[in-house]
Structure 1
Amino acid sequence: MLGEACPVSSRAELPEAFEDALEGFRRELALQRSLSEHTVRGYLADLRSLLDHFARMSGTDLSALDLMTLRSWLAKSRTMGAARSTLARRAASARAFTAYLARTGVLAVDPGARLRSPGARRTLPEVLNTEQASELVERVDGDDPLALRDRAIVELLYAGGIRVSELCGLDLDSVDEQRGLLRVLGKGSKERSVPVGGPARAALQTYLQSARSELATPRSGAALLLGARGGRIDPREVRRVVHRAAQAVEGAPDIGPHGLRHSAATHLLEGGADLRAVQELLGHASLATTQIYTHVSVERLRASFNQAHPRA
């Protein structure tokens, strides 16, 4: 169970009251808000830094945590070279934590409600062009069980634009072969149906018919994609598969699974897909998140124009 899988780290020496508050907040994040282990760990790492800073300034009375402390912590982070994106993330962690402390009566008022931080500069993701994407998939070749599995992996990532965590979480009954859909469990435990095209369905069918039984062990359970030892495949193994394939494509950026997701979204929009349809496919809660791919398309168009037009 997630609530037991991500214990609060004991790396920093914190007062017992601080540890209790962190543990309560961890449980809320993991159990009530259904956040991933990775996200929970990120929150807790930020908050350990905040509470260590607070303890050095003010002692052990958590009810004294105030806006000045939050601001001085962020200022210290900035002087130590933290990027704008890191400062924005830490401020968000602090706001969530102080809101929790106010709800549970530890704080009389929520100081985080007045905390502001620099907005993170959104960088455009690196993406493949359509030729590179096709070559990357074709580079994953072979007829042994792991090669057939790897081909299914890259086909599904690119065809469905799914996250690596969503891919690894697929079970055998997640595949609707008749309708060509995957039932994907995304962020916040939200399920959505993702269509995949003919090449991805063919690669998946070949894997299921010729490879999965060779990899399966008693510990495989219902997992669709299996690791070399028979358990559910690990995101790190998926990243190795994609990085290895990308490195074999001349001129391609060194992307991972998320790069294939970015590429799929960009190619859909360049091909005329509706922005809201792409939002639904990717499982974005906000359309603003999806809109970054329109900027990617414009930048690619501008680069092509500057390279090819005689009067650019």
Structure 2
Amino acid sequence: MIWNTYLRGFKLYLNVEKGLSDHSISAYERDVEKLARFVEKEFGELPIQALDINHIRSFLQELHQCDIDPRSQSRILSGLRAFSQYLILEGMIPSDVMEHIEAPKIARRIPEVLSIEEVKSLLESFDLSQPLAHRNRAMLEVLYACGLRVSELIHLHIDHIYEELEMIKVLGKNNKERLVPISQRALKYLNIYLSERKNGLIKAEARHLVFLNRRGRGLTRHMIYHIIKEAGERAGIEKNISPHTLRHCFATHLVEGGADLRAVQELLGHASIMTTEIYTHINNEYLRNTIHKFHPLNRS
């Protein structure tokens, strides 16, 4: 495929200069590969120096014709913007080919959240006499108590748990660190699991990680997704849930309880308050539903 040399350099740039996670690097690499395949098909062996805004626009038109949804298009554009910046830094193109490319408008989706009772049912769905149940319970308790992304949970370090302070240090997007309070309840289940963990298999390369699989290695996103889906089924929850659902619940329940939005932004590790504002919309929806359900004139 054309541009393979540039792709290798781009991956190194994302890792060393940008400090992105392996997951983000792989996603950006796929985005550029999509563009490269399109350019090769439509324009042949195009030198990277000849890439311009018209090629990008043709590529976006192709995505639209293939019914790629606006959210996916926007994500692909993020990868291409990073690639364009890399090419400029390396002196391969004279100007930013993405400068005048606008992202498609995306309707803001209000994420599905669980009620407090549903969260309790989810957390209590584990049979703690079963293998790995204490680990799984601890994971969900930490996700909900701290509002972590699944990647943050996977990479949580043993020495980043400050029990006396009731805080944990979280490595967020772009390797940005933040301190997040952790409840005594979550610490209780975490400590039960950590006591069990000492007696299990621990591979040297994963000894710093909190949550391990039965082979002593770190967990994957897919494993955690599967654990939560099974817990939801046991709890009788019919909503479509994922590890991110507990992060949404964390933020939503804080806002419903009157928490300051700036504080929630800090806890979630959002770079922009605009990202956190989605939870005010959820809160408004909650208030509307409350009125429809409980106002005497709305009852049939």
Is the TM value for this pair above 0.5?
A: yes
CA contact (8 A) 1:128 1:252 kept: no
Worse overlay, 230-239 or 157-166:
230-239
Q: Does 1:104 align with 2:94?
A: no
Q: Which residue of 2 aligns with 1:130?
A: 116
Identity between Structure 1 and Structure 2 (%):
37
Q: Which residue of 2 aligns with 1:264?
A: 250
Q: Which residue of 2 aligns with 1:39?
A: 24
How far, CA to CA, are the matches of 1:41 and 1:231 in structure 2? 21
Superposition deviation, residue 117 in structure 1: 2.8
Q: Which residue of 2 aligns with 1:54?
A: 39
CA contact (8 A) 1:34 1:188 kept: yes
One-letter amino acid of the counterpart of residue 75, structure 2: R
How far, CA to CA, are the matches of 2:250 and 2:152 in structure 1? 15
CA contact (8 A) 1:95 1:115 kept: no
Which residues in structure 2 correspond to 1:136-215 (within 5 Å)?
136-209=122-195, 211-215=196-200
Q: Any idea what SS the aligned residue of 2:198 has?
A: helix
CA contact (8 A) 1:180 1:197 kept: yes
Q: Structure 2: which 5+ runs fail to align?
A: none
Q: What per-residue deviation string (whole Å, max 9, x for no partner) do you get for residues 64-101 of structure 1?
A: 11111100100011001100111212222222222322
Q: Any idea what SS the aligned residue of 2:99 has?
A: helix
How far, CA to CA, are the matches of 2:165 and 2:295 in structure 1? 44
Q: Any idea what SS the aligned residue of 2:132 has?
A: helix
Q: Does 1:244 align with 2:230?
A: yes
Superposition deviation, residue 266 in structure 1: 0.3
Segments ≥4 residues shifted beyond 6 Å: none
Q: Does 1:287 align with 2:270?
A: no
Superposition deviation, residue 51 in structure 1: 1.4
Alignment root-mean-square deviation, CA:
1.6
Superposition deviation, residue 252 in structure 1: 4.5
How far, CA to CA, are the matches of 2:236 and 2:218 in structure 1? 32
Superposition deviation, residue 171 in structure 1: 2.0
Q: Does 1:235 align with 2:221?
A: yes
How far, CA to CA, are the matches of 1:311 and 1:64 in structure 2? 67
Q: Structure 1: which 5+ runs fail to align?
A: 1-13
In the alignment of these two chains, the number of paired residues is: 296
One-letter amino acid of the counterpart of residue 102, structure 2: R
Q: Any idea what SS the aligned residue of 2:214 has?
A: coil
Worse overlay, 233-242 or 212-221:
212-221
How far, CA to CA, are the matches of 1:174 and 1:163 in structure 2? 16
Q: Which residue of 1 aligns with 2:74?
A: 88
Superposition deviation, residue 310 in structure 1: 4.3
How far, CA to CA, are the matches of 2:212 and 2:131 in structure 1? 10
Superposition deviation, residue 141 in structure 1: 3.2
Q: Which residue of 2 aligns with 1:76?
A: 62
